[in-house]
């Protein structure tokens, strides 16, 4: 018997730090695109744990490998070899930039590794005060390195002092980016599509400017693919649908199908920067998480599934754009931001949708974000569009 929402909420209120405003639901079970709460109410999940459960909740293949691996060997530390870790590194490298991989336990930590690679690479080029340049609106995580690279949150003086050596330029301002990259630049760190900001694709012009500026200065181009990677945009990695290839890339979220794991993946140019003693982690690359990630890659690294993601994304956007009070949709594949007409309270819409049984997210005023599992079907998309239309009519 579960405690139920009210008792769980009372425990949270008393014992957890108040860092989150949670929706008033106590989820107890998930299967594919569906979730159930403690009262047995069913929900259509168009958030997928913020793009983590991309293969759907409790995918049988992931459950099977996690069950088998955790019954056999859960953890030995990084002081020894384990096969799933090595196989996953090979698979990630060969499917992307071709260099070496460092495993972490989260997106934030994957970015910490990328920042270390960038700074050490810069020191090797004789730069004593390396700088990392990003676009405003980006989100790279909440540890101090990743936070310093997250311009909106780095302004929080109550958490200061921030790590030095980070600067930002306005989103998609190619000229400002070119001007900001100079002899002290270690890296340009960008999201190919800004997710937490409300799903804003970085323009091709800005991406090309970043690549060019890095090539001219010797800085590394780092893509944070923590939200955009693992098939979310209709290709295994979002950069594959752009004219630009980064030197370093970070992945997490959907990589483990619900099991925490992150990865910093390099091209050969940055593959040997970190050496023994430079970085490490007790938990990272454990056999359960890496076996889970291999099972997830078996599912999503499939041209048929990726084509379907692009088709379903187009279908979803077409349905949304036909609704009254939708100003625009943004994004790629099944990473979609809905820009609402002026005056519509997106938070109220999100709360109303949850009551109607549709899980979405409101990352910014006037914006709803949809990140459904990639295994969603057309009927579920039509149902979600219908619920959003009903809710818009009720809330407006």
Query: Quick one: residue 358, left, alpha or beta (phi over 0 = left, psi -120 to 50 = alpha)?
Result: beta
Residues 6+ apart with CB under 8 A from 172: 135, 202, 203, 205, 206
Residue of 37, 135, 166, 253 with catalytic role: 253
Site residues for ligand PLP, 206-225, by CB under 6 A, read: 224
Site string for ligand PLP, 87-116 (x = CB under 6 A): -------------------xxx--x-----
Residues 6+ apart with CB under 8 A from 273: 117, 120, 121, 124, 266
CB of 195 to ligand PLP, least distance (A): 5
Residue 345 bears catalytic tag:
no
Minimum CB distance to ligand PLP smaller for 111 or for 185: 111
CB of 394 to ligand PLP, least distance (A): 29
Is 193 buried (19+), middle (13-18) or exposed (0-12) by CB count in 10 A?
A: buried
State the residue for tokens 């099977």.
64
**Binding residues with ligand PLP: total (CB under 6 A):** 15
Minimum CB distance to ligand PLP smaller for 96 or for 391: 96
Site residues for ligand PLP, 43-62, by CB under 6 A, read: 50
Three-point CA angle 163, 161, 218, nearest 5°: 15
Residue of 139, 166, 223, 352 with catalytic role: 139
With beta carbons less than 8 A apart as the criterion, state whether 195 and 139 touch.
yes
DSSP 376: -
Largest CA-CA distance found in the chain, in angstroms, rounded: 62
**H helices within 301-345, ranges in order?**
303-321
Minimum CB distance to ligand PLP smaller for 52 or for 392: 52
* Rounded Cα–Cα distance for residues 79 and 95 (Å): 26
* Rounded Cα–Cα distance for residues 229 and 181 (Å): 26
Q: Which two tokens stand for residue 17?
A: 């730090």
Residue 224 bears catalytic tag:
yes
State the residue for tokens 């109550």.
158
Among 69, 185, 227, 380, the residue binding ligand PLP under the rule CB under 6 A is: 227
Among 49, 137, 141, 350, the residue binding ligand PLP under the rule CB under 6 A is: 141
* Rounded Cα–Cα distance for residues 167 and 91 (Å): 33
CB of 250 to ligand PLP, least distance (A): 7
CB of 252 to ligand PLP, least distance (A): 5
Site string for ligand PLP, 143-182 (x = CB under 6 A): ----------------------------------------
CA atoms within 13 A on the CB side of 332: 25
Minimum CB distance to ligand PLP smaller for 282 or for 378: 282
Site residues for ligand PLP, 281-340, by CB under 6 A, read: none
Coil, strand or helix at 250: strand
Site string for ligand PLP, 241-260 (x = CB under 6 A): -----------x--------
Coil, strand or helix at 50: helix
CA atoms within 13 A on the CB side of 14: 6
CB of 173 to ligand PLP, least distance (A): 19
Residue 139 bears catalytic tag:
yes
CB of 321 to ligand PLP, least distance (A): 25
Among 49, 130, 151, 195, the residue binding ligand PLP under the rule CB under 6 A is: 195
Minimum CB distance to ligand PLP smaller for 99 or for 107: 107
CB of 86 to ligand PLP, least distance (A): 23
* Sign of the torsion formed by the C-alpha atoms of 240, 241, 247 and 251: negative
Among 131, 191, 247, 352, the residue binding ligand PLP under the rule CB under 6 A is: 191
Residues engaged in binding ligand PLP (CB under 6 A): 50, 106-108, 111, 139-141, 191, 195-196, 224, 226-227, 252
Q: Which residues are marked as active site? A: 139, 224, 253
């Amino acid at each position: 018997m579960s405690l139920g929402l009210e008792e769980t909420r009372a425990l949270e209120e008393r014992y957890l730090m108040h860092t989150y405003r949670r929706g008033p639901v106590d989820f107890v079970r998930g299967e594919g695109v569906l979730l159930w709460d403690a009262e047995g109410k069913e929900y259509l999940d168009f958030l997928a744990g913020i793009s983590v459960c991309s293969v759907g909740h409790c995918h049988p293949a992931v459950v099977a490998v996690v069950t088998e691996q955790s019954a056999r060997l859960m953890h030995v530390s990084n002081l020894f070899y384990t096969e799933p870790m090595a196989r996953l590194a090979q698979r990630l490298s060969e499917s992307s930039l071709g260099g070496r991989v460092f495993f972490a336990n989260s997106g934030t930590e994957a970015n910490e590794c990328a920042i270390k690679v960038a700074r050490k690479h810069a020191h090797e080029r004789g730069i004593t005060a390396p700088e990392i340049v990003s676009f405003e609106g980006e989100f790279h995580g909440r540890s101090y390195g990743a936070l310093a690279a997250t311009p909106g949150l780095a302004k929080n003086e109550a958490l200061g002092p921030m790590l030095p050596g980070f600067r930002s330029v306005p989103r998609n301002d190619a000229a400002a980016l070119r001007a900001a990259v100079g002899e002290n630049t270690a890296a340009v760190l960008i999201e190919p599509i800004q997710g937490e900001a409300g799903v804003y694709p970085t323009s091709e012009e800005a991406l090309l400017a970043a690549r060019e500026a890095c090539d001219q200065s010797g800085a590394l181009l780092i893509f944070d693919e923590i939200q955009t990677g693992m098939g979310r945009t209709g290709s295994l990695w979002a950069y594959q649908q752009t004219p630009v290839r980064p030197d370093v890339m970070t992945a997490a979220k959907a990589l483990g199908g619900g099991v925490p794991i992150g990865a910093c993946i390099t091209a050969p140019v940055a593959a040997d920067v970190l050496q023994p003693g430079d970085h490490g982690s007790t938990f990272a690359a454990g056999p359960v998480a890496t076996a889970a990630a291999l099972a997830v890659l078996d599912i999503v690294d499939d041209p048929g599934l990726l084509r379907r993601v692009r088709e379903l994304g187009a279908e979803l956007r077409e349905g949304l754009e036909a609704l009254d009070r939708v100003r625009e949709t943004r994004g790629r594949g099944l990473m979609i931001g809905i820009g609402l007409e002026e005056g519509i309270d997106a938070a109220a819409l999100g709360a109303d949708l949850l009551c109607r049984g549709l899980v979405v997210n409101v990352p910014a005023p006037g914006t709803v974000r949809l990140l459904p599992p990639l295994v969603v079907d057309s009927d579920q998309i039509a149902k979600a569009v219908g619920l959003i239309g009903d809710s818009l009519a009720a809330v407006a």
